């Protein structure tokens, strides 16, 4: 007699909860298989477009550029400005998350502790989201972060991040940003130029890159100094190993 562990497809005589559980189980399995397959594909194929780009009311311009044609100053700048432990963590900076939770609990403007890996997972596979959809996204973001850390590795994560991150109004990726702000390729960015782009990343629609003032200017100068430390101490080594 044949025996199978696979659940039997529900019929008209099956209970409501059995039918519901069967369909939920199938959705979960298809999601896991589909997300795994998509992650493997995008390890080798540039993401053609993201949901954020498609929903941008300003339209979008982008120019996929391999990491080999992006100046090392840009890599150091985003590590210095966004995720100093990029090469050390497994996708999640638990210290930064705890600090963000403490600041948020104390009141004031909400601040996150997302790593470059988490931001890449969000930008490529998910949506920005507010309200309750933000919490749903966070759960999915955790899953996709684990996938890209395991399947892509640090170099590919950095390459994709630098190509999908919003760098200005309707502008995505550091190549499009470099062309927009400095009329040059991302392969020829100076440390200060890269730092100014990195300083605007958290709020690219509001922070000016070429005419930075106040906090953005000070933050850019700080990132430029920290970039030297990143390169000197090899904090970007995982991207180039």
The pLDDT assigned to 79 comes to: 98
Percent share of the chain, pLDDT over 90: 68
When pLDDT is cut at 50, 70 and 90, the band that residue 1 belongs to is very low
Percent share of the chain, pLDDT over 70: 88
Q: DSSP labels for 94-152?
A: HHHHHHHHHHHHT-SS------HHHHHHHHHHS----THHHHHHHHHHHHHHHHHHHHT
pTM of this prediction?
0.87
When pLDDT is cut at 50, 70 and 90, the band that residue 80 belongs to is very high
Cross-strand pairs, 26 = none
Is the per-residue pLDDT at 107 higher than 70? Answer: no
Is the per-residue pLDDT at 54 higher than 50? Answer: yes
For residue 32, CA distances in Å to 94, 151, 207 come to 25, 14, 38
Mean pLDDT of the chain: 89
Residue located via tokens 């963000």: 100
Gap between the Cα atoms of 230 and 195, Å rounded:
12
* pLDDT top residue among 139 and 97: 139
DSSP three-state, residue 61? strand
DSSP three-state, residue 166? strand
Is the per-residue pLDDT at 72 higher than 50? Answer: yes
pLDDT per residue over 144-177, tens digit each?
Answer: 999 999 999 999 999 999 999 999 999 999 999 9
Q: Which domains does the chain have, with CATH numbers?
A: 76-240 (1.10.3810.10)
The pLDDT assigned to 3 comes to: 47
pLDDT per residue over 189-230, tens digit each?
Answer: 999 999 999 999 988 888 889 887 888 899 999 999 999 999
Query: Are 227 and 214 spatial neighbours (Cβ–Cβ below 8 Å)?
Result: no
């Amino acid at each position: 007699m044949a025996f199978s562990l696979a659940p039997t497809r529900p019929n008209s005589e099956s209970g409501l909860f059995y039918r519901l559980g069967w369909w939920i189980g199938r959705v979960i399995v298809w999601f896991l298989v589909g997300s795994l397959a998509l992650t493997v594909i995008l390890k080798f194929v540039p993401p053609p477009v993201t949901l954020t780009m498609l929903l941008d009311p300003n339209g979008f311009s982008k120019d996929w550029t391999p990491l080999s044609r992006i100046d090392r100053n840009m890599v150091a700048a985003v590590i210095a400005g966004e995720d100093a432990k990029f090469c050390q963590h497994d996708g999640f900076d638990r210290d930064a998350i705890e600090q963000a939770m403490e600041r948020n609990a104390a009141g004031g403007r909400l601040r996150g502790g997302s790593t470059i890996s988490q931001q890449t997972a969000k930008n490529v596979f998910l949506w920005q989201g507010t309200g309750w959809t933000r919490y749903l996204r966070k759960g999915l973001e955790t899953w996709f972060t684990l996938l890209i850390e395991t399947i892509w590795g640090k170099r590919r994560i950095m390459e994709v991040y630098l190509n999908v991150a919003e760098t200005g109004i309707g502008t995505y990726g550091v190549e499009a940003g470099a062309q927009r702000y400095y009329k040059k390729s991302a392969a020829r960015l100076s440390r200060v130029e890269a730092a100014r782009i990195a300083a605007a990343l958290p709020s690219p629609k509001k922070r000016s890159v070429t005419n930075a003032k106040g906090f953005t200017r000070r933050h850019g100068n700080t990132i430029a100094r920290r970039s030297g430390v990143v390169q000197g101490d090899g904090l970007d080594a995982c991207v180039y190993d």
